[in-house]
Amino acid sequence: MADRRDAPAKDPDAVADELYAATPEEFTGLRDDYAKAARDRGDRDAARQISALRKPTISAWLINQLVRSHPDDIEALLELGAGLREAQASLQGDELRALSQQRRQVINGLVRQALQLAVTQGRPVNEQASRDLAQTLEAALSDDDAAGQLRTARLTAALVPTADFGSVRPTLHVVRNVPTAAPAASAAAGPSRSQPAAAPAITDAARERSERLRRDAQSAAQETRAAAKAAQRELMTLGTQRDAIDKRADALTAQAAELRTQIDELTGQLNDVHDELVTARKDQQRARTAMLEAERAARASQRAAEVAATKLEALDN
């Protein structure tokens, strides 16, 4: 990891942007490096602000990445929320029902995009994280303040909508070190409630973007299904190969067991032959010793016979 003292010009707000774009594993190390660099520069206030930055949950991290990766889709969601609130305030039942249907489609599409993003980054999430995603998007639809928090892409935890449409309760907090574009963006997201005539234009824009989201989601779903089928085929092929390898391994195991039996038998035979060889060599040594003794006895007898013959010849003379 690079020494963050090499970037002395980064203020706490810029550091926060970098931290909440990083992975959860990188967050703490980066934060501590930047805080230490600020202290080393003598900027204690910046060091304090940086140290106070809170690590996001996995759900909040994924939501932040979704906002950074798909800002136009997020704006479509927030425009739709403004239209929903406008329709509710003016009690336009048909429009409210149409926007409510769009709300479900847009939220479901964004959740799918976020889950795909998680898989792409090698970080698939569980069902609870999916629910947190949907709840946070629902909260941003329901309340301007929640929409502003979402836009910062600095959530530290998921947002939870309350039972009443138009209010929201955050689970934790969102980092707000500098003014964001939330107020201006909220104004751009929809007209004031004193101008209900402009709501259809917002609705058309939201409907167009939600339709694009729906098409993207359908395309992603088709690609996912195709990938799943390909993976299933590959799995079946690997299963067949594994079965063949298992059979070959079983045959080799049986062959090895048979060879071990033969080796044991041959080892026993070798030991028997070795014992017989030792006995034979001992018998051979005893025979050689007996032969030498017999040869010495024969030579002694020969010499005795020669002496006796000499004496006999002398007596005859």
pLDDT at 33: 93
Same domain, 43 and 133: no
pLDDT at 180: 36
Same domain, 11 and 121: no
Is residue 249 situated within a structural domain?
Answer: no
Same domain, 156 and 44: no
Is residue 120 situated within a structural domain?
Answer: yes
On the 0-12 / 13-18 / 19+ scale of CB atoms within 10 A, 118 is: buried
Q: Containing domain of residue 43, as a range?
A: 4-51
Same domain, 15 and 109: no
User: Tens of pLDDT along 258-295?
Assistant: 888 889 888 888 888 888 889 888 889 998 898 888 88
pLDDT at 202: 46
Same domain, 63 and 44: no
Domain boundary among 189, 218, 238: 238
Same domain, 118 and 207: yes
Q: What is the value of pTM for the model shown?
A: 0.50
More confident residue, 18 or 314: 18
pLDDT at 16: 92
For residues 225 and 112, what is the distance between their CA atoms, to the nearest angstrom? Answer: 14
Is residue 155 situated within a structural domain?
Answer: yes
On the 0-12 / 13-18 / 19+ scale of CB atoms within 10 A, 18 is: middle
Is residue 174 situated within a structural domain?
Answer: yes
Domain boundary among 238, 257, 287: 238
For residues 234 and 119, what is the distance between their CA atoms, to the nearest angstrom? Answer: 20
Residue 193: HSE in the Cβ half-sphere, 13 Å Cα cutoff? 10
Same domain, 146 and 209: yes
Tokens of 92: 């336009």
Same domain, 17 and 69: no
For residue 85, how many other CB atoms are within 10 A of its CB?
A: 20
Domain boundary among 238, 272, 301: 238
Same domain, 103 and 13: no
For residues 26 and 24, what is the distance between their CA atoms, to the nearest angstrom? Answer: 5
User: Tens of pLDDT along 196-213?
Assistant: 333 344 456 656 666 666
Sign, CA dihedral 76-83-130-55, equals positive
Is residue 232 situated within a structural domain?
Answer: yes
Per the structure, the count of domains in the chain is 2
| pLDDT surpasses 60 at 3 | no
